[in-house]
Amino acid sequence: MSAALPRERGPAEPLLSVDELEKRFSIRRGLFARPHGYLPALRGVSFDVAPGETLGLVGESGSGKTTVGRIVARLETPEAGRVRFDGEDWLALSGAALRRRRGALQVVFQDPQTSLNPRLSVGDQIAEPMRIQKRARGAALRENVSRTLAEVGLSPETASRFPAELSGGQRQRVAIARALATRPKFIVCDEPLSALDVSVAAQIVNLLLDLRERENLSYLFISHDLPAVSRIADRIAVLYLGRIVEQGRVAEIVGEPLHPYTAALLSATPEPDPDAPRRRILLEGDPPSAAEPPSGCPFHPRCPIARSRCREERPRLEAVDAGRFVACFYPGEMR
């Protein structure tokens, strides 16, 4: 296991603390074939999320950000590392103990059309986690369903409808309502905007911001949409090939990216002002295979400022300022 990575810790004890997560997936040539290799998805990922805070996790497809979210949600098991949630060893819980605590940490998935059950009414899908957690029954259960629908901007009549009868934005509101049903402290939002058009996505961001304020929620907000992440997150962690390469407060990351990969991601963000000065940073080729990562810095084959040291040594994630971390030998040179 690699050495512990530095993290920013706020004045409050973290609600979620992730330490040195390692995850790999088997490589198979057929459904029933034996593994002939392994694909490392995460390599020593560490971060904290404080109560009421949102951490944005960004990176290209294949960077490992969804795997992080699935491990936090207990949908995947890591090979190594620890996750502490609300003072407990989250990965050690099982059986009845895990079922009792699951209500405190919920998930909103990428595509509500596939995450919602097409055969169940909206009301039944929101009521189900309340029943499992034994939060209410009978008239109280129906009242709670109506109240939760109202919290996400949907009328009580929506409870009798089915997902196919709703728009994409309405379905995502239902998915958020289902996550809220157990009154969680923490929600993993796994690409919750990618299946929505721009105007609807903006409404969902506003809803999540409002809910965070009213319910004192914490979010792990996973997305490739940097403008949306910048709006909703307090801090951002940038993933590349399963490692965090930069982490800091939103204003710092967006205003002054230190890692060349972060700078390239930001340069690809659409600029609403056509007259604004803009320098697009073009990266060479696709990300290398995680199964055969390059020597030295994993980003060096695509990096415009790579030097001989980058090909020979892997930079560690180190503090460059209070709460600001970067894994680069030449931070800030892309500015």
**pLDDT tens for residues 130-178?**
998 887 788 899 999 999 999 999 999 999 999 999 999 999 999 999 9
Q: What is the CA radius of gyration of the chain?
A: 21
Over residues 10-51, the pLDDT tens digits come to 446 899 999 999 999 887 776 666 767 788 899 999 999 999
Residue 113 scores a pLDDT above 90:
no
Cα first-last separation, the chain: 33
Q: Rounded to an integer, what distance in angstroms lies between the CA atom of residue 125 and that of residue 131?
A: 10
Do residues 9 and 180 touch, judged by C-beta distance below 8 A? no
Q: Rounded to an integer, what distance in angstroms lies between the CA atom of residue 334 and that of residue 168?
A: 39
Other Cβ atoms within 10 Å of 217 Cβ, number: 22
* 211 phi, psi to nearest 5 deg: -65, -40
Quote the pTM value: 0.89
Over residues 301-321, the pLDDT tens digits come to 999 899 999 999 999 999 998
Other Cβ atoms within 10 Å of 13 Cβ, number: 13
Name every residue whose Cβ is closer than 8 Å to that of residue 150 and which is 6 or more positions away in sequence.
Answer: 156
Work out the average pLDDT over 180-202. Answer: 92
Do residues 104 and 182 touch, judged by C-beta distance below 8 A? yes
| pLDDT at residue 9 in the model | 41
Q: Rounded to an integer, what distance in angstroms lies between the CA atom of residue 173 and that of residue 167?
A: 10
Name every residue whose Cβ is closer than 8 Å to that of residue 139 and which is 6 or more positions away in sequence.
Answer: none
Structure-model confidence comparison of residues 288 and 95, the more confident one: 95
Q: How confident is the model at residue 286 (pLDDT cuts 50, 70, 90)?
A: confident
Q: How confident is the model at residue 106 (pLDDT cuts 50, 70, 90)?
A: very high
Amino acid (one-letter) located at 169: G
Do residues 110 and 171 touch, judged by C-beta distance below 8 A? no
**Which residue's entry shows tokens 């990969």?**
261
Residues in the chain: 335
Q: What is the DSSP string of 245-283?
A: EEEEEHHHHHHS--SHHHHHHHHTSPPS-TTS-----PP
Q: How confident is the model at residue 2 (pLDDT cuts 50, 70, 90)?
A: very low
Residue 80 scores a pLDDT above 50:
yes
Name every residue whose Cβ is closer than 8 Å to that of residue 36 and which is 6 or more positions away in sequence.
Answer: 27, 28, 29
Helix (H) or strand (E) holding 310: helix 308-312
List the domain boundaries for the chain. Answer: 115-183
Residue 237 scores a pLDDT above 70:
yes
Work out the average pLDDT over 262-285. Answer: 71
| pLDDT at residue 66 in the model | 94
Residue 125 scores a pLDDT above 90:
yes
Residue 248 scores a pLDDT above 80:
yes
**Which residue's entry shows tokens 């157990």?**
182
| pLDDT at residue 55 in the model | 98
